[in-house]
Amino acid sequence: MSNESEIIEIPPDRLQRIIQGLSYATVDKFAACLDLLRTGGQKDDDFGELEMAFTVFVEELSSAKTALKDTLNKHEQANRELEMKLQMIEMQQAAIRDLSTPIIEVWAGVLCLPVVGLVDSQRSAEMTETLLEMIVAKQARTAIVDITGIDVMDTKTADHFIKMAKAVRLLGSECILSGINPSIAQTLTHIGVDLTGIRTMRNLRDALQAHLRDTEQLGAARAGRNARKPEIAE
Amino acid sequence: MPLPESEAPARSERAERAYPVSRREDALVIGREAQRLGLLFGLAKKRAGELAIVVSELASNIAKYGVRGEIALSFDPDGEGDVRVSARDVGPPFRDLELAKTDGCDDRGPIDPAGIIGRGGLGTGLGAVLRLADHFECRQDEAGKEITVLFHREPVSKRRRT
């Protein structure tokens, strides 16, 4: 290395190469920059050291930039995937919402609400709303609420189910509760709910049969009236 | 959200598990998860169902009033075999906590029965939590609130008899 006081000569073409190289590097054209720097070959003088150092620096910068771009791409990819997953969650949530009050018209005029999973106060309120709306919309004569799938209910929620059944009757339809398990039965009697006018059946099958019996009786009674026969259905 | 089956709470049961809540549907999902973990923890079937209701009620309150928050569950936090449920949110504090605890009320007062339609709830959520869980605690300020309950292993009905 030369003394500080010493003056070194720089050929203008080499200086020009450095300047040109810098401007290439500035605009991310590392390949062009390195090509340019390498055309000069390696000179064993003071300025040659600077050229060498600059070349190494550009090489490092170039690989660092490439790695950064790779990482950014990966991030972008991950972000896209995450967004898709969020969208999926969104759809699943909508599905859960729909499934939380699955009302099926099993027959003309017969609605069935099979309650499964977890019933909290909000869900029971939502169920009541949806069921009452559906009864009016479908002009259902019978609504069967099957709670076979429910083991546990808070007392107030159980009470609300009974109120739901009463509200259905007020609409002029019949509500059959089926599949009440011992624990919920105990809850209901324990809180002293008025069960008059509430029709309960052991299971969904019995409930459907009860509906069919009623319909037959009604049909028979009508047929009887039409034929002017005083036949009374049992 | 559901954890892999292999991850039984027995392994790290004291560690708190937190689940973010921002929507109504989260409540049912987290409730079911709590039930599953409760069963793994060794709660009786009925008691695990009650845990699910407590968690779900607290979570739906977060979704309804708390803007966003989380439900944190820890199993056997102090070696007594309990489950601790914490519900934290960034929503406004209760105007009147005692009113909010009353069935058929929110924190402003009684809910008009006609207003239940479309309201998405009966106003009995906190009541249910109080009935089914133990040691209700609520800390709140302008920045948010935290409700913590301890959930004893044995059912409420059995305890009252003794």
- What's the complex ipTM? 0.79
Confidence at residue B150, expressed as pLDDT on a 0 to 100 scale:
93
- What's the pLDDT at B14? 66
Instruction: Please count the residue pairs, one from chain A and one from chain B, whose beta carbons lie less than 8 angstroms apart.
Output: 84
Residue ranges of chain A with per-residue pLDDT less than 50: 2
A126: closest CA of chain B, how far (Å): 6
Structure confidence at residue B12 (pLDDT): 52
Nearest alpha-carbon partner for A103 in A90, A88, A93, A113: A113
Does the structure show a pLDDT above 90 at B70? yes
Give pLDDT, residue B50: 93
Q: What is the mean pLDDT of chain B?
A: 84
Other C-beta atoms closer than 10 Å to the C-beta of A170 total: 8
Within an 8 Å CB–CB cutoff, is residue B36 touching chain A?
no
A33 in contact with B, Cβ within 8 Å: no
Q: What is the 3-state secondary structure (H, E, C) of chain A?
A: CCCCCCCCCCCHHHHHHHHHHHHHHHCCCHHHHHHHHHHCCCCCCHHHHHHHHHHHHHHHHHHHHHHHHHHHHHHHHHHHHHHHHHHHHHHHHHHHHHHCCCCEEEECCEEEEECCCCCCHHHHHHHHHHHHHHHHHHCCCEEEEECCCCCCCCHHHHHHHHHHHHHHHHCCCEEEEECCCHHHHHHHHHCCCCCCCCEEECCHHHHHHHHHHHHHHHHHHHHHHHCCCCCCCC
Q: In the structure, what pLDDT confidence band is assigned to residue B30 with cuts at 50, 70 and 90?
A: very high
Model confidence over B72-121: pLDDT tens digits? 999 998 888 899 999 999 989 898 888 888 888 888 778 776 666 666 67
Chain B residues touching A154 at Cβ < 8 A: 53, 57, 124, 127-128, 131-132
Predicted local distance difference test score (pLDDT) of residue A189:
85
Residues B110, A213: Cα–Cα separation, whole Å: 43
Are B118 and A129 in contact (CB < 8 Å)?
Answer: yes
Give B-chain residues touching A93 at CB under 8 angstroms: 23, 25
pLDDT at residue number B161: 46
Burial of B93 (0-12, 13-18, 19+ CB in 10 A): middle
Residue B48 CA, chain-centre distance (Å), reads: 12
Give me the pLDDT at residue B96, please.
87
Predicted pLDDT at A195: 80
- Whether the CB of B52 is below 8 Å from some CB of chain A: the reply is yes
What type of residue sits at position B118?
Answer: G
CA-nearest residue of chain B to A149? B49
Confirm if A177 and A200 have CB atoms less than 8 A apart.
yes
Q: Give the chain A residue nearest B46 (alpha carbons).
A: A152
Instruction: Read off the tokens for A2.
Output: 């030369």
Q: Which residue has the higher pLDDT, A2 or B28?
A: B28
Categorize the per-residue pLDDT at B162 as very low, low, confident or very high, splitting at 50, 70 and 90. Answer: very low
Q: Are strands B144-151 and B105-106 parallel, antiparallel or unpaired?
A: unpaired
- Shortest alpha-carbon distance between residue B101 and chain A (Å): 13
CA distance A153 to chain B (A): 7
Distance in angstroms (rounded) separating the CA atoms of residues A37 and A28 = 15
Q: In chain B, which residues have their Cβ closer than 8 Å to the Cβ of A183?
A: 46
CB spacing of B122 vs A156 below 8 angstroms: yes
The pairing of strands B105-106 and B83-89 is: unpaired
